[in-house]
Amino acid sequence: MINTKELTIKKTHEALKKGDFTVLELAETYLKNIEEKNKDINAYLEVFDDIKEQAEIAQKKFSDGTATILTGIPMAVKDNILIDGRKVGAASKILKNYVASYDATAISKLKKEGVVFLGRANMDEFAMGGSTENSAYGPTKNPYDLERVSGGSSGGSVAAVAMEGALVALGSDTGGSVRQPSSFCGTVGLKPTYGRVSRHGLMAMGSSLDQIGTIGKNVDDAEIVFKNILGKDIFDSTSQDAPENISTTKPKKIGVPFSFLKQGGIDESVLSNFNETVEKLKKEGYEIVDIDLPNNHYSLAVYYILMPAEVSSNMSRFDGVKYGEHKDGKNLLEDYMLTRGEGLGKEVRRRIILGTYVLSAGYYDAYYHKANKVRALIADDFRKAFEKVDVILTPTSPTPAFKIGEKSADPISMYLADIFTVTANLVGTPALSVPSGFTEKDGKKLPLGVQITAPHFREDALFDVGRSIEGRV
Amino acid sequence: MITVADIEKLSQLARIDVSDEEKASLAKEIEAILSYVAEIQKASADAPVKEDYLRNVFRGDVETHESGIFTEKLLAASPDREGQYFKVKKIL
């Protein structure tokens, strides 16, 4: 009997190499966990039916000596990342029967390593949401408390890992969609530097913000998967490699925007846990520096202008002509109206309408253009802060996981959950959410997380500080 | 002030059929979101901002693959086709 709770990628690799268990036995252990838990948690929209074939390919790599660290590792994949020949639908009705025509670059890299893809993970429709309640196939529940949300939008990927339904997972992060659910479910979630992982084959939401991210039970696992999917890609002109002369000095100074944390709206349990983490890092020998990010409080407003603007443009591809569902009307215009009206969910419709507004003549300057200028100011604040400190530390989310339905009637209260995470997407910096302890609500233990942000291409600094927070240095 | 007529116009522009009931709730929600994001008007964004981290990325305008090798696979995903074409209703 394999105890998946004790497994890490490195331990699994050693065990597979020694033959303690086979790739198939490992995958079947996870499949059994999924069978037990998925009906309650709803992390997976589909479990693939060719696990045996995938496991055979991976096992062969062990027998012929070509196995690498990720060979045979069971992974969940968010439903907006394309795997050739498999269904993929962004948890939307409009892509109900859509089958991917090609592999995302991240997927083709992982296929070469012999990763075993267990299934596609639930999400907020087209990654629009922070709770996975916007899925057309029902919310993903929090494995720690089934009355609470898993967070989102990569709630399914994160819950799959948290419920021992996969060792690691891929998600996508446009405003915190890997990090916020990770903090809600006690996993490690990485949003890499913008462009460090190719977006080719990731369904676009906000193209200047989107990044594929990795999820694991610990920093090492998230790091290993990240290192196997990064790199410049001819299919994504915004992708890039790290500059060769990039510094790799160990981080020593941690900046904390204390004044930003005093603005209110942060749960008491989050604040006290955050302060404990700061104390712990001081004891580890880090220097804590109070930093000022004067334009940071505009981040959420800037994000909720630029993101819907990019959404309204990206979502125009769903026209019922080229692929996806089609609803028939009297003429082509009605075909479009009905296909999109019925196929796209409420939050997606809301963001498209909002984006259409901020881009329309007469409002473009006041909203979209101004937001771009403020985005540059926020980026400048970060550049200045990183002259003084090596990384920046904040909570990942202002609250622990909230109850299902608690925020769904009020979009703004839902959007406020992104207050600490959107900045990294606006600025393009890498950020990592690391579990920092638990709080108790209604008699249930709920995970909390802290977020580390580093300068562009300094994921190594995130992993260093992340390991200190894990206490495994 | 966002009115139901504004939502009507925006939904036409965005090619999304929206029910009358949803138009009324969208008018309120969009109004609330806009009043929240309007706080960026207070930011001083007149100072010149360094934007040298943005640059254009080009590639040569060349054939990247043999013509036609993906055609069948992509057309197979369409709701309606005729031969090598996507089929749509006539416009005029």
Residue A183 near residue A267 (C-beta atoms within 8 A): no
Give the architecture (CATH level 2) of B4-42.
Answer: Orthogonal Bundle (1.10)
Residue A433, beta-bridge partner list: A189, A451
Interface of A with B in 379-438 (CB under 8 A): 379-380, 411-412, 415, 428
Q: Which of A349, A353, A412 sits opposite B32 (nearest CB)?
A: A412
- B-chain residues within 8 Å CB-CB of A97? none
Domain ranges of chain B: 4-42
Contact with chain A for residue B86, Cβ under 8 A: yes
Determine the distance in angstroms separating the CA of A341 from the nearest CA of chain B, rounded to an integer. 4
Collapsed DSSP state (helix, strand, coil) of residue A254: strand
Q: Report the residue of chain B nearest A238, measured CA to CA.
A: B57
Residue A152 Cα distances to A97, A434, B44, angstroms:
23, 16, 33
Token pair of A346 as six digits:
């409420």
Contact with chain B for residue A321, Cβ under 8 A: yes
- Cross-chain Cβ contact B15/A336 below 8 Å: yes
Residue A119, beta-bridge partner list: A47, A76
- The CB density around residue A412, as the number of other CB atoms within 10 Å, is 15
Rounded Cα distance between B81 and B77, Å, is 9
Residue A276 Cα distances to A268, A279, A398, A417, A438, angstroms:
12, 5, 16, 21, 12
Q: How big, in percent rounded to 5, are the helix, strand and coil portions of chain A?
A: 45, 15, 40
Contact with chain B for residue A60, Cβ under 8 A: no
Q: Report the residue of chain B nearest A376, measured CA to CA.
A: B49
Residues of A forming the active site: 78, 153, 177
Determine the distance in angstroms separating the CA of A340 from the nearest CA of chain B, rounded to an integer. 5
Rounded Cα distance between A79 and A92, Å, is 9
- B-chain residues within 8 Å CB-CB of A322? 74, 77-78, 86
Q: Which of B6, B14, B86 sits opposite A352 (nearest CB)?
A: B14
- Cross-chain Cβ contact B29/A350 below 8 Å: yes
Rounded Cα distance between A397 and A157, Å, is 18
Residue A372 near residue A309 (C-beta atoms within 8 A): no
- B-chain residues within 8 Å CB-CB of A304? 33, 36-37
- The CB density around residue A93, as the number of other CB atoms within 10 Å, is 15
Among the listed residues A57, A56, A38, A58, the one whose alpha carbon sits nearest the alpha carbon of residue A47: A38
Residue A381 near residue A296 (C-beta atoms within 8 A): yes
The conformational region for residue A367 under phi > 0 = left, psi -120 to 50 = alpha, else beta, is alpha
Residue A384 near residue A308 (C-beta atoms within 8 A): no
- pLDDT score at A263: 82
Among the listed residues A351, A299, A1, A24, the one whose alpha carbon sits nearest the alpha carbon of residue B11: A351
The conformational region for residue A405 under phi > 0 = left, psi -120 to 50 = alpha, else beta, is left
**ipTM of the shown complex:** 0.94
Token pair of A168 as six digits:
């690691």
- A-chain residues within 8 Å CB-CB of B33? 304, 354, 411-412, 415
- Cross-chain Cβ contact B16/A344 below 8 Å: yes
| pLDDT values of chain A reduced to their tens digit, one per residue, 473 residues | 899 999 999 999 999 999 999 999 999 999 999 999 999 999 999 999 999 999 999 999 999 999 999 999 999 999 999 999 999 999 999 999 999 999 999 999 999 999 999 999 999 999 999 999 999 999 999 999 999 999 999 999 999 999 999 999 999 999 999 999 999 999 999 999 999 999 999 999 999 999 999 999 999 999 999 999 999 999 999 999 999 999 989 999 999 999 999 888 899 999 999 999 999 999 999 999 999 999 999 999 999 999 999 999 999 999 999 999 999 999 999 999 999 999 999 999 999 999 999 999 889 989 999 999 999 999 999 999 999 999 999 999 999 999 999 998 888 888 888 999 999 999 999 999 999 999 999 999 999 999 999 999 999 999 999 999 998 54
Residue A352 near residue A311 (C-beta atoms within 8 A): yes
- pLDDT score at B49: 61
Contact with chain A for residue B13, Cβ under 8 A: yes
- Cross-chain Cβ contact B15/A367 below 8 Å: no
Residue A68, beta-bridge partner list: none
Rounded Cα distance between A308 and A367, Å, is 11
DSSP string, A255-316: EE-HHHHTTS---HHHHHHHHHHHHHHHHTTPEEEE---TTGGGHHHHHHHHHHHHHHHHGG
Determine the distance in angstroms separating the CA of B11 from the nearest CA of chain A, rounded to an integer. 6
CATH topology for A1-473 is Amidase signature (AS) enzymes (3.90.1300)
- pLDDT score at A400: 97
Mean pLDDT in order along chain B per 10 residues (92 residues)? 96 97 96 94 73 78 90 94 93 79
- B-chain residues within 8 Å CB-CB of A306? none
Rounded Cα distance between A44 and A157, Å, is 8
Dihedrals phi, psi of B76, to nearest 5 degrees: -60, -20
Contact with chain B for residue A363, Cβ under 8 A: no
The conformational region for residue A456 under phi > 0 = left, psi -120 to 50 = alpha, else beta, is beta
Determine the distance in angstroms separating the CA of B13 from the nearest CA of chain A, rounded to an integer. 8
Residue A412 Cα distances to A300, A396, A409, B30, B87, angstroms:
10, 18, 9, 10, 41
Q: What is the rounded end-to-end Cα distance, in angstroms, of chain B?
A: 37
- pLDDT score at A157: 98
Contact with chain B for residue A323, Cβ under 8 A: yes
